[in-house]
Structure 1
Amino acid sequence: MRNLAIACVAACSALAFSGAANATIVTVFDSIPGGTSDFNSTVTTAGGTPLSEQLLYGDSTYADFSLSKTPYYTYTQTTGYLTDIGPAGTVKGPTGDSRPSGVTLTFTTAINSFGFEVGDWGTCCYPSALYIAFDGGAPIQVGLSTGLNNVYLTNGQPAVFVAAFDDSGSFNTVEFWGDGFGEVLYAGGTVRYALLDQGSLPGIPEPSTWAMMIAGFGLAGSALRRRRPAALLAA
Protein backbone atom coordinates (compact mmCIF):
# COMPACT_ATOMS: atom_id res chain seq x y z
CA MET A 1 0.00 0.00 0.00
CA ARG A 2 2.03 2.92 -1.26
CA ASN A 3 1.12 6.47 -0.38
CA LEU A 4 3.24 9.35 -1.64
CA ALA A 5 1.22 12.47 -0.90
CA ILE A 6 1.94 15.99 -2.12
CA ALA A 7 0.25 18.79 -0.20
CA CYS A 8 0.30 22.34 -1.48
CA VAL A 9 0.65 24.79 1.39
CA ALA A 10 0.51 28.59 1.62
CA ALA A 11 -1.46 28.77 -1.61
CA CYS A 12 -3.24 31.91 -0.50
CA SER A 13 0.09 33.56 0.19
CA ALA A 14 1.32 32.60 -3.26
CA LEU A 15 -1.72 34.26 -4.75
CA ALA A 16 -1.56 37.34 -2.61
CA PHE A 17 2.17 37.99 -2.97
CA SER A 18 3.63 37.55 -6.43
CA GLY A 19 7.16 37.43 -4.97
CA ALA A 20 6.42 34.64 -2.46
CA ALA A 21 8.56 31.51 -2.77
CA ASN A 22 7.02 28.16 -3.47
CA ALA A 23 6.48 25.95 -0.42
CA THR A 24 5.57 22.31 -0.73
CA ILE A 25 5.06 19.59 1.87
CA VAL A 26 5.42 15.98 0.77
CA THR A 27 4.77 12.93 2.96
CA VAL A 28 5.63 9.26 2.48
CA PHE A 29 3.87 6.27 4.06
CA ASP A 30 4.82 2.81 2.84
CA SER A 31 6.48 -0.47 3.68
CA ILE A 32 10.08 -0.05 4.77
CA PRO A 33 11.58 -1.06 1.40
CA GLY A 34 8.98 0.89 -0.58
CA GLY A 35 9.17 3.94 1.66
CA THR A 36 12.95 4.00 1.46
CA SER A 37 12.70 3.95 -2.33
CA ASP A 38 10.07 6.73 -2.25
CA PHE A 39 12.27 8.87 -0.02
CA ASN A 40 15.38 8.47 -2.13
CA SER A 41 13.58 9.12 -5.41
CA THR A 42 11.83 12.22 -4.03
CA VAL A 43 15.15 13.66 -2.87
CA THR A 44 17.07 12.89 -6.07
CA THR A 45 14.24 14.15 -8.30
CA ALA A 46 14.42 17.46 -6.42
CA GLY A 47 18.16 17.63 -7.01
CA GLY A 48 19.26 16.59 -3.50
CA THR A 49 21.45 13.84 -2.08
CA PRO A 50 19.81 11.30 0.27
CA LEU A 51 21.82 10.57 3.42
CA SER A 52 21.26 7.84 5.98
CA GLU A 53 22.46 6.58 9.36
CA GLN A 54 21.56 3.24 10.95
CA LEU A 55 20.72 3.53 14.65
CA LEU A 56 22.83 1.40 16.98
CA TYR A 57 22.15 -0.15 20.37
CA GLY A 58 22.57 2.37 23.18
CA ASP A 59 23.94 5.10 20.91
CA SER A 60 22.10 8.44 20.79
CA THR A 61 24.85 10.53 19.15
CA TYR A 62 25.81 10.23 15.47
CA ALA A 63 27.89 12.18 12.96
CA ASP A 64 25.05 14.41 11.75
CA PHE A 65 22.49 14.30 14.59
CA SER A 66 21.65 13.33 18.16
CA LEU A 67 18.48 11.78 19.61
CA SER A 68 16.62 12.78 22.75
CA LYS A 69 15.91 9.09 23.48
CA THR A 70 18.38 6.23 23.23
CA PRO A 71 17.72 3.23 20.94
CA TYR A 72 17.52 -0.06 22.85
CA TYR A 73 14.96 -2.15 20.95
CA THR A 74 14.71 -4.24 17.81
CA TYR A 75 11.62 -5.17 15.83
CA THR A 76 10.72 -7.44 12.93
CA GLN A 77 11.64 -5.93 9.54
CA THR A 78 13.24 -2.74 10.85
CA THR A 79 16.86 -2.17 9.80
CA GLY A 80 18.30 -0.76 13.03
CA TYR A 81 17.57 -0.17 16.69
CA LEU A 82 14.48 1.73 17.83
CA THR A 83 13.49 4.13 20.59
CA ASP A 84 10.38 3.63 22.70
CA ILE A 85 7.98 6.53 22.15
CA GLY A 86 4.76 5.01 23.43
CA PRO A 87 2.13 7.78 23.20
CA ALA A 88 1.18 9.50 26.44
CA GLY A 89 -1.70 11.90 26.95
CA THR A 90 -5.48 12.08 26.64
CA VAL A 91 -6.23 14.36 23.68
CA LYS A 92 -5.84 12.96 20.15
CA GLY A 93 -5.04 15.05 17.10
CA PRO A 94 -2.18 17.27 15.92
CA THR A 95 -2.77 19.79 18.70
CA GLY A 96 -3.27 17.15 21.41
CA ASP A 97 -0.97 16.52 24.37
CA SER A 98 0.98 13.53 23.03
CA ARG A 99 3.80 15.53 21.45
CA PRO A 100 6.20 15.50 24.45
CA SER A 101 6.17 11.68 24.50
CA GLY A 102 7.91 11.50 21.12
CA VAL A 103 11.56 11.74 20.12
CA THR A 104 13.49 14.80 18.91
CA LEU A 105 16.47 14.64 16.56
CA THR A 106 18.87 17.59 16.53
CA PHE A 107 20.96 17.94 13.35
CA THR A 108 24.35 19.64 13.19
CA THR A 109 23.67 20.70 9.59
CA ALA A 110 20.24 21.92 8.50
CA ILE A 111 17.86 19.60 6.65
CA ASN A 112 14.30 19.76 5.30
CA SER A 113 13.71 16.09 4.39
CA PHE A 114 13.41 13.42 7.07
CA GLY A 115 12.18 9.86 7.38
CA PHE A 116 12.62 6.70 9.41
CA GLU A 117 11.05 3.41 10.39
CA VAL A 118 8.21 2.68 12.80
CA GLY A 119 7.67 -0.68 14.44
CA ASP A 120 4.72 -2.22 16.31
CA TRP A 121 2.35 0.59 15.39
CA GLY A 122 -1.34 0.64 14.52
CA THR A 123 -2.33 -2.53 16.37
CA CYS A 124 -4.86 -0.93 18.72
CA CYS A 125 -6.26 2.30 20.11
CA TYR A 126 -7.76 3.75 16.94
CA PRO A 127 -7.59 6.26 15.46
CA SER A 128 -3.81 6.38 15.78
CA ALA A 129 -1.86 9.05 13.93
CA LEU A 130 1.85 9.75 13.45
CA TYR A 131 3.32 13.25 13.19
CA ILE A 132 6.55 14.96 12.18
CA ALA A 133 7.38 18.61 12.92
CA PHE A 134 10.39 20.67 11.82
CA ASP A 135 11.92 23.18 14.26
CA GLY A 136 8.96 23.05 16.62
CA GLY A 137 6.53 24.03 13.87
CA ALA A 138 3.12 22.78 12.85
CA PRO A 139 2.61 18.99 12.94
CA ILE A 140 2.66 17.16 9.60
CA GLN A 141 0.56 13.98 9.70
CA VAL A 142 2.55 11.18 8.08
CA GLY A 143 0.43 8.18 9.07
CA LEU A 144 -3.09 7.32 10.18
CA SER A 145 -4.39 3.94 11.29
CA THR A 146 -8.10 3.33 11.80
CA GLY A 147 -7.85 -0.48 11.85
CA LEU A 148 -5.39 -3.36 11.51
CA ASN A 149 -5.55 -3.41 7.71
CA ASN A 150 -4.25 0.15 7.45
CA VAL A 151 -0.81 -1.00 8.59
CA TYR A 152 -0.56 -4.72 7.92
CA LEU A 153 -1.33 -4.28 4.23
CA THR A 154 1.98 -2.49 3.66
CA ASN A 155 4.16 -5.53 4.29
CA GLY A 156 2.36 -8.10 6.42
CA GLN A 157 3.74 -6.57 9.62
CA PRO A 158 2.93 -3.44 11.64
CA ALA A 159 6.22 -1.89 10.51
CA VAL A 160 6.24 1.07 8.12
CA PHE A 161 8.44 3.86 6.77
CA VAL A 162 7.25 7.46 7.11
CA ALA A 163 8.79 10.70 5.91
CA ALA A 164 8.11 14.40 5.53
CA PHE A 165 9.62 17.07 3.26
CA ASP A 166 9.21 20.82 3.63
CA ASP A 167 11.07 22.92 1.06
CA SER A 168 9.96 26.25 2.54
CA GLY A 169 13.27 26.48 4.39
CA SER A 170 15.88 24.49 6.32
CA PHE A 171 15.67 23.15 9.87
CA ASN A 172 17.87 21.74 12.63
CA THR A 173 15.37 19.80 14.74
CA VAL A 174 12.79 17.15 13.90
CA GLU A 175 10.13 15.83 16.26
CA PHE A 176 8.32 12.55 15.76
CA TRP A 177 5.40 11.30 17.86
CA GLY A 178 2.11 9.40 17.83
CA ASP A 179 -1.27 9.77 19.52
CA GLY A 180 -2.55 6.18 19.74
CA PHE A 181 -2.86 6.32 23.52
CA GLY A 182 -2.44 2.89 25.09
CA GLU A 183 -0.47 1.31 22.23
CA VAL A 184 3.20 0.41 21.98
CA LEU A 185 5.21 2.50 19.51
CA TYR A 186 8.86 2.27 18.50
CA ALA A 187 10.70 4.41 15.95
CA GLY A 188 14.16 4.58 14.43
CA GLY A 189 15.76 1.87 12.31
CA THR A 190 17.67 3.75 9.63
CA VAL A 191 17.27 7.54 9.69
CA ARG A 192 17.14 9.16 6.24
CA TYR A 193 17.57 12.87 5.64
CA ALA A 194 18.53 15.49 3.09
CA LEU A 195 18.62 19.21 2.40
CA LEU A 196 16.72 20.34 -0.69
CA ASP A 197 16.82 23.77 -2.29
CA GLN A 198 13.93 26.00 -1.33
CA GLY A 199 11.02 25.51 -3.74
CA SER A 200 12.62 22.50 -5.42
CA LEU A 201 9.66 20.15 -4.85
CA PRO A 202 6.74 20.26 -7.30
CA GLY A 203 3.49 21.47 -5.86
CA ILE A 204 2.38 25.09 -6.01
CA PRO A 205 2.34 26.69 -9.48
CA GLU A 206 3.71 30.18 -9.95
CA PRO A 207 1.22 32.96 -9.08
CA SER A 208 0.55 33.68 -12.76
CA THR A 209 -0.30 30.00 -13.25
CA TRP A 210 -2.66 30.14 -10.28
CA ALA A 211 -4.37 33.16 -11.83
CA MET A 212 -4.84 31.34 -15.14
CA MET A 213 -6.14 28.25 -13.35
CA ILE A 214 -8.66 30.26 -11.35
CA ALA A 215 -9.74 32.14 -14.44
CA GLY A 216 -10.12 28.83 -16.24
CA PHE A 217 -12.24 27.42 -13.41
CA GLY A 218 -14.40 30.54 -13.52
CA LEU A 219 -14.92 30.28 -17.27
CA ALA A 220 -15.73 26.60 -16.97
CA GLY A 221 -18.25 27.33 -14.24
CA SER A 222 -19.86 30.05 -16.35
CA ALA A 223 -20.10 27.70 -19.32
CA LEU A 224 -21.76 25.05 -17.18
CA ARG A 225 -24.22 27.56 -15.83
CA ARG A 226 -25.06 28.67 -19.39
CA ARG A 227 -25.53 25.09 -20.58
CA ARG A 228 -27.57 23.86 -17.64
CA PRO A 229 -30.95 25.48 -18.55
CA ALA A 230 -30.76 24.05 -22.08
CA ALA A 231 -29.97 20.60 -20.69
CA LEU A 232 -32.92 20.83 -18.32
CA LEU A 233 -35.24 21.83 -21.13
CA ALA A 234 -34.03 18.97 -23.30
CA ALA A 235 -34.76 16.52 -20.50
Structure 2
Amino acid sequence: MINKTIKTLSLSLCLVASSSQATILDFYDTIFNGQNQFTTAVTSAGSSVSSVTLNGLSGGNSWDLGDFTISTTDGFNESIYGASYDNSTGEMIGIDPRDNNDNGAGSGLTFTFDSAVNALGFEVGDWATCCFTSELFISFDGGAAIKVASATNANDNPATAAGGNAGDAFFVGAIDDSSQFTTVTFFGNGFGEFLTAGGTIMYSALDVGSVTVPEPSTIAILGLAMMGLSFSRRKA
Protein backbone atom coordinates (compact mmCIF):
# COMPACT_ATOMS: atom_id res chain seq x y z
CA MET A 1 0.00 0.00 0.00
CA ILE A 2 2.84 2.43 0.84
CA ASN A 3 4.60 1.77 -2.47
CA LYS A 4 1.35 2.27 -4.38
CA THR A 5 0.76 5.60 -2.64
CA ILE A 6 4.28 6.80 -3.42
CA LYS A 7 3.94 5.83 -7.09
CA THR A 8 0.63 7.71 -7.37
CA LEU A 9 2.14 10.79 -5.72
CA SER A 10 5.13 10.72 -8.09
CA LEU A 11 2.83 10.50 -11.12
CA SER A 12 0.80 13.45 -9.89
CA LEU A 13 3.91 15.60 -9.44
CA CYS A 14 5.09 14.63 -12.92
CA LEU A 15 1.80 15.82 -14.44
CA VAL A 16 2.03 19.13 -12.58
CA ALA A 17 5.59 19.68 -13.78
CA SER A 18 4.71 18.98 -17.39
CA SER A 19 1.35 20.79 -17.61
CA SER A 20 2.84 23.78 -19.48
CA GLN A 21 4.55 21.65 -22.12
CA ALA A 22 3.19 20.32 -25.39
CA THR A 23 0.91 17.33 -24.98
CA ILE A 24 0.52 14.12 -26.97
CA LEU A 25 -2.70 12.15 -26.52
CA ASP A 26 -3.68 8.88 -28.18
CA PHE A 27 -7.12 7.30 -28.49
CA TYR A 28 -8.00 3.59 -28.66
CA ASP A 29 -11.55 2.55 -27.91
CA THR A 30 -14.85 1.51 -29.46
CA ILE A 31 -16.09 3.79 -32.24
CA PHE A 32 -18.71 5.48 -30.04
CA ASN A 33 -16.42 5.99 -27.05
CA GLY A 34 -13.37 6.95 -29.10
CA GLN A 35 -15.19 9.55 -31.17
CA ASN A 36 -16.66 11.10 -28.03
CA GLN A 37 -13.28 11.19 -26.27
CA PHE A 38 -11.61 12.73 -29.33
CA THR A 39 -14.33 15.38 -29.69
CA THR A 40 -14.15 16.24 -25.99
CA ALA A 41 -10.35 16.65 -26.11
CA VAL A 42 -10.55 18.91 -29.17
CA THR A 43 -13.41 21.10 -27.93
CA SER A 44 -11.80 21.40 -24.48
CA ALA A 45 -8.75 22.82 -26.26
CA GLY A 46 -10.95 25.50 -27.85
CA SER A 47 -11.19 24.02 -31.34
CA SER A 48 -13.81 22.14 -33.38
CA VAL A 49 -13.87 18.78 -35.15
CA SER A 50 -14.28 18.36 -38.91
CA SER A 51 -15.26 14.98 -40.28
CA VAL A 52 -15.66 13.07 -43.54
CA THR A 53 -17.33 9.66 -43.86
CA LEU A 54 -15.79 7.59 -46.66
CA ASN A 55 -18.24 6.62 -49.38
CA GLY A 56 -18.13 5.89 -53.11
CA LEU A 57 -14.40 5.08 -53.22
CA SER A 58 -12.80 2.71 -55.73
CA GLY A 59 -9.68 0.62 -55.31
CA GLY A 60 -6.39 2.37 -56.03
CA ASN A 61 -3.54 4.17 -54.26
CA SER A 62 -4.90 7.71 -53.76
CA TRP A 63 -8.27 9.22 -52.80
CA ASP A 64 -9.06 12.96 -52.77
CA LEU A 65 -11.55 13.83 -50.00
CA GLY A 66 -11.57 17.61 -50.45
CA ASP A 67 -9.70 18.97 -47.40
CA PHE A 68 -7.21 16.11 -47.58
CA THR A 69 -5.97 13.21 -49.67
CA ILE A 70 -5.43 9.65 -48.45
CA SER A 71 -2.73 7.69 -50.27
CA THR A 72 -0.96 4.39 -49.79
CA THR A 73 2.46 5.27 -48.40
CA ASP A 74 4.30 2.83 -50.70
CA GLY A 75 2.15 3.53 -53.78
CA PHE A 76 0.65 0.02 -53.89
CA ASN A 77 -2.99 -0.32 -54.94
CA GLU A 78 -5.39 -1.35 -52.18
CA SER A 79 -9.01 -2.52 -52.20
CA ILE A 80 -12.02 -0.74 -50.69
CA TYR A 81 -14.35 -2.53 -48.25
CA GLY A 82 -17.94 -1.61 -47.45
CA ALA A 83 -19.04 -0.53 -43.98
CA SER A 84 -20.68 -3.91 -43.36
CA TYR A 85 -17.33 -5.70 -43.74
CA ASP A 86 -16.00 -4.37 -40.40
CA ASN A 87 -19.17 -2.86 -38.91
CA SER A 88 -17.64 0.57 -39.47
CA THR A 89 -19.44 3.87 -40.14
CA GLY A 90 -18.11 4.18 -43.71
CA GLU A 91 -15.94 2.52 -46.32
CA MET A 92 -12.53 1.18 -45.34
CA ILE A 93 -9.20 1.06 -47.19
CA GLY A 94 -7.10 -2.09 -47.02
CA ILE A 95 -3.62 -2.06 -45.45
CA ASP A 96 -1.12 -4.89 -45.80
CA PRO A 97 2.01 -4.44 -43.63
CA ARG A 98 4.86 -5.57 -45.86
CA ASP A 99 8.25 -4.09 -45.01
CA ASN A 100 9.90 -5.45 -41.87
CA ASN A 101 12.89 -3.17 -42.45
CA ASP A 102 10.93 -0.01 -41.61
CA ASN A 103 8.59 -1.50 -38.96
CA GLY A 104 5.73 -1.36 -41.47
CA ALA A 105 5.75 2.44 -41.82
CA GLY A 106 6.20 2.28 -45.59
CA SER A 107 3.08 0.19 -46.18
CA GLY A 108 0.54 2.29 -44.31
CA LEU A 109 -1.74 5.16 -45.29
CA THR A 110 -0.69 8.81 -45.49
CA PHE A 111 -3.18 11.64 -44.96
CA THR A 112 -2.07 14.87 -46.67
CA PHE A 113 -4.04 17.96 -45.59
CA ASP A 114 -4.49 21.20 -47.54
CA SER A 115 -4.36 23.10 -44.23
CA ALA A 116 -2.22 21.95 -41.32
CA VAL A 117 -3.77 19.89 -38.49
CA ASN A 118 -2.51 18.26 -35.30
CA ALA A 119 -5.45 16.02 -34.37
CA LEU A 120 -6.61 13.01 -36.38
CA GLY A 121 -8.90 10.07 -35.64
CA PHE A 122 -10.52 7.32 -37.72
CA GLU A 123 -11.65 3.69 -37.62
CA VAL A 124 -9.57 0.52 -37.93
CA GLY A 125 -11.00 -2.91 -38.74
CA ASP A 126 -10.07 -6.54 -39.33
CA TRP A 127 -7.28 -6.18 -36.75
CA ALA A 128 -6.12 -8.39 -33.87
CA THR A 129 -7.11 -11.53 -35.76
CA CYS A 130 -3.64 -13.04 -36.20
CA CYS A 131 0.12 -12.51 -36.17
CA PHE A 132 0.63 -11.27 -32.61
CA THR A 133 2.19 -9.10 -31.26
CA SER A 134 0.65 -6.48 -33.57
CA GLU A 135 0.94 -2.73 -32.97
CA LEU A 136 -0.57 0.37 -34.60
CA PHE A 137 1.19 3.74 -34.98
CA ILE A 138 0.47 7.31 -36.05
CA SER A 139 3.24 9.69 -37.13
CA PHE A 140 2.91 13.45 -37.80
CA ASP A 141 5.06 14.81 -40.67
CA GLY A 142 7.38 11.79 -40.49
CA GLY A 143 8.21 12.44 -36.84
CA ALA A 144 8.41 9.96 -33.98
CA ALA A 145 5.76 7.26 -34.27
CA ILE A 146 3.06 7.37 -31.58
CA LYS A 147 1.94 3.86 -30.63
CA VAL A 148 -1.84 3.96 -30.34
CA ALA A 149 -2.60 0.24 -29.94
CA SER A 150 -1.01 -3.12 -29.18
CA ALA A 151 -2.58 -6.58 -29.37
CA THR A 152 -1.38 -9.95 -28.14
CA ASN A 153 -4.77 -11.64 -28.65
CA ALA A 154 -8.16 -10.99 -30.27
CA ASN A 155 -9.67 -9.49 -27.13
CA ASP A 156 -7.20 -6.60 -27.35
CA ASN A 157 -9.46 -5.23 -30.09
CA PRO A 158 -11.80 -2.85 -28.17
CA ALA A 159 -14.80 -3.74 -30.35
CA THR A 160 -14.26 -7.46 -29.81
CA ALA A 161 -13.74 -6.98 -26.07
CA ALA A 162 -17.03 -5.05 -25.94
CA GLY A 163 -18.89 -8.05 -27.39
CA GLY A 164 -18.51 -7.42 -31.13
CA ASN A 165 -17.40 -9.83 -33.82
CA ALA A 166 -13.74 -10.71 -34.34
CA GLY A 167 -12.05 -7.91 -36.23
CA ASP A 168 -14.87 -5.37 -35.85
CA ALA A 169 -13.88 -1.75 -36.38
CA PHE A 170 -12.83 0.50 -33.49
CA PHE A 171 -11.51 4.06 -33.14
CA VAL A 172 -7.88 5.20 -33.03
CA GLY A 173 -6.52 8.71 -33.04
CA ALA A 174 -3.76 11.01 -31.87
CA ILE A 175 -3.25 14.67 -30.95
CA ASP A 176 0.18 16.31 -30.95
CA ASP A 177 -0.14 19.97 -29.98
CA SER A 178 3.60 20.66 -30.21
CA SER A 179 3.01 22.05 -33.71
CA GLN A 180 0.71 21.74 -36.74
CA PHE A 181 1.36 19.28 -39.56
CA THR A 182 0.29 18.68 -43.15
CA THR A 183 0.90 14.92 -43.34
CA VAL A 184 -0.04 12.12 -40.98
CA THR A 185 0.91 8.48 -41.55
CA PHE A 186 -0.85 5.47 -40.05
CA PHE A 187 0.67 1.98 -40.13
CA GLY A 188 0.87 -1.39 -38.40
CA ASN A 189 3.76 -3.74 -37.73
CA GLY A 190 1.84 -7.04 -37.61
CA PHE A 191 3.32 -8.65 -40.70
CA GLY A 192 0.68 -10.93 -42.20
CA GLU A 193 -1.97 -9.04 -40.19
CA PHE A 194 -4.09 -7.46 -42.93
CA LEU A 195 -6.26 -4.61 -41.65
CA THR A 196 -8.45 -1.76 -42.86
CA ALA A 197 -8.73 1.93 -42.00
CA GLY A 198 -11.21 4.69 -42.73
CA GLY A 199 -14.87 4.90 -41.75
CA THR A 200 -15.39 8.44 -40.49
CA ILE A 201 -12.23 10.58 -40.52
CA MET A 202 -12.14 13.23 -37.76
CA TYR A 203 -9.55 16.01 -37.72
CA SER A 204 -8.76 19.41 -36.25
CA ALA A 205 -6.11 22.13 -35.90
CA LEU A 206 -5.50 23.02 -32.25
CA ASP A 207 -3.44 25.90 -30.93
CA VAL A 208 0.06 24.84 -29.93
CA GLY A 209 0.14 23.94 -26.23
CA SER A 210 -3.64 24.11 -25.88
CA VAL A 211 -4.25 20.52 -24.72
CA THR A 212 -4.30 20.05 -20.96
CA VAL A 213 -3.96 16.79 -19.05
CA PRO A 214 -6.28 16.47 -16.02
CA GLU A 215 -4.26 16.70 -12.84
CA PRO A 216 -5.09 16.43 -9.12
CA SER A 217 -5.20 19.57 -6.99
CA THR A 218 -2.39 20.48 -4.61
CA ILE A 219 -4.67 19.48 -1.73
CA ALA A 220 -5.16 16.03 -3.25
CA ILE A 221 -1.40 15.60 -3.63
CA LEU A 222 -0.78 16.61 -0.02
CA GLY A 223 -3.53 14.20 1.03
CA LEU A 224 -1.75 11.34 -0.76
CA ALA A 225 1.49 12.27 0.97
CA MET A 226 -0.16 12.26 4.39
CA MET A 227 -1.78 8.91 3.60
CA GLY A 228 1.65 7.49 2.82
CA LEU A 229 3.06 8.76 6.10
CA SER A 230 0.10 7.29 7.98
CA PHE A 231 0.61 3.82 6.52
CA SER A 232 4.33 4.09 7.18
CA ARG A 233 3.76 4.82 10.90
CA ARG A 234 1.26 1.95 11.25
CA LYS A 235 3.71 -0.50 9.73
CA ALA A 236 6.46 0.72 12.06
Offset at residue 116 of structure 1 (A): 0.4
Residue 153 and residue 82 in structure 1: after superposition, are their counterparts in 2 closer, same or farther (change >3 A)? same
Residues 1:147 and 2:153 are matched in the alignment: yes
**1 CA distance for matches of 2:37 and 2:140?**
20
Secondary structure of the corresponding residue to residue 201 of structure 1 = coil
Matches within 5 A, 1:123-202: 123-151=129-157, 152-157=160-165, 158=167, 159-202=169-212
Residues 1:120 and 2:126 are matched in the alignment: yes
**1 CA distance for matches of 2:232 and 2:43?**
47
Equivalent position of 1:5 in the other structure: none
Secondary structure of the corresponding residue to residue 49 of structure 1 = coil
Give yes or no for contact 1:52–1:190 (8 Å, CA) kept in 2.
Answer: yes
Residues 1:72 and 2:71 are matched in the alignment: no
Secondary structure of the corresponding residue to residue 149 of structure 1 = helix
Equivalent position of 2:40 in the other structure: 41
Give yes or no for contact 1:23–1:204 (8 Å, CA) kept in 2.
Answer: no
- Select between 25-34 and 149-158 the one with higher mean Cα deviation: 149-158
Which stretches in structure 1 are left out of the alignment for 5+ residues? 1-7
Offset at residue 164 of structure 1 (A): 0.3
Give the partner amino acid of 2:44.
T
The TM-score, its normalising length taken from structure 1, stands at 0.75
**2 CA distance for matches of 1:80 and 1:231?**
58
**2 CA distance for matches of 1:179 and 1:141?**
11
Offset at residue 55 of structure 1 (A): 1.7
Give the partner amino acid of 1:97.
N
Give yes or no for contact 1:60–1:71 (8 Å, CA) kept in 2.
Answer: no
Equivalent position of 1:62 in the other structure: 65
Secondary structure of the corresponding residue to residue 26 of structure 1 = strand
Secondary structure of the corresponding residue to residue 60 of structure 1 = strand
Give yes or no for contact 1:21–1:168 (8 Å, CA) kept in 2.
Answer: no
Please list the CA deviations of residues 177-227 of structure 1 after superposition, one character each: whole Å capped at 9, or x if unmatched: 01111111111111100011111111398xxx9xx9xxx8xxx69x96xx9
Offset at residue 154 of structure 1 (A): 3.5
Please list the CA deviations of residues 59-80 of structure 1 after superposition, one character each: whole Å capped at 9, or x if unmatched: 7002110011366222231122
Secondary structure of the corresponding residue to residue 98 of structure 2 = coil
Which stretches in structure 2 are left out of the alignment for 5+ residues? 1-10, 73-77
**1 CA distance for matches of 2:163 and 2:140?**
28
Residue 88 and residue 49 in structure 1: after superposition, are their counterparts in 2 closer, same or farther (change >3 A)? same
Residue 21 and residue 169 in structure 1: after superposition, are their counterparts in 2 closer, same or farther (change >3 A)? farther
The TM-score, its normalising length taken from structure 2, stands at 0.75
Please list the CA deviations of residues 144-166 of structure 1 after superposition, one character each: whole Å capped at 9, or x if unmatched: 11111111114513211101011
Give the partner amino acid of 2:37.
D
Offset at residue 89 of structure 1 (A): 3.0
Percent sequence identity over aligned pairs? 41
Give the partner amino acid of 1:85.
I
Structure 1 residue runs of 4+, over 2 Å off? 227-232
Equivalent position of 1:3 in the other structure: none
Equivalent position of 2:100 in the other structure: 90
Offset at residue 90 of structure 1 (A): 3.3
**2 CA distance for matches of 1:82 and 1:130?**
16
Residue 154 and residue 175 in structure 1: after superposition, are their counterparts in 2 closer, same or farther (change >3 A)? farther
Give yes or no for contact 1:122–1:147 (8 Å, CA) kept in 2.
Answer: yes
Give the partner amino acid of 2:52.
E
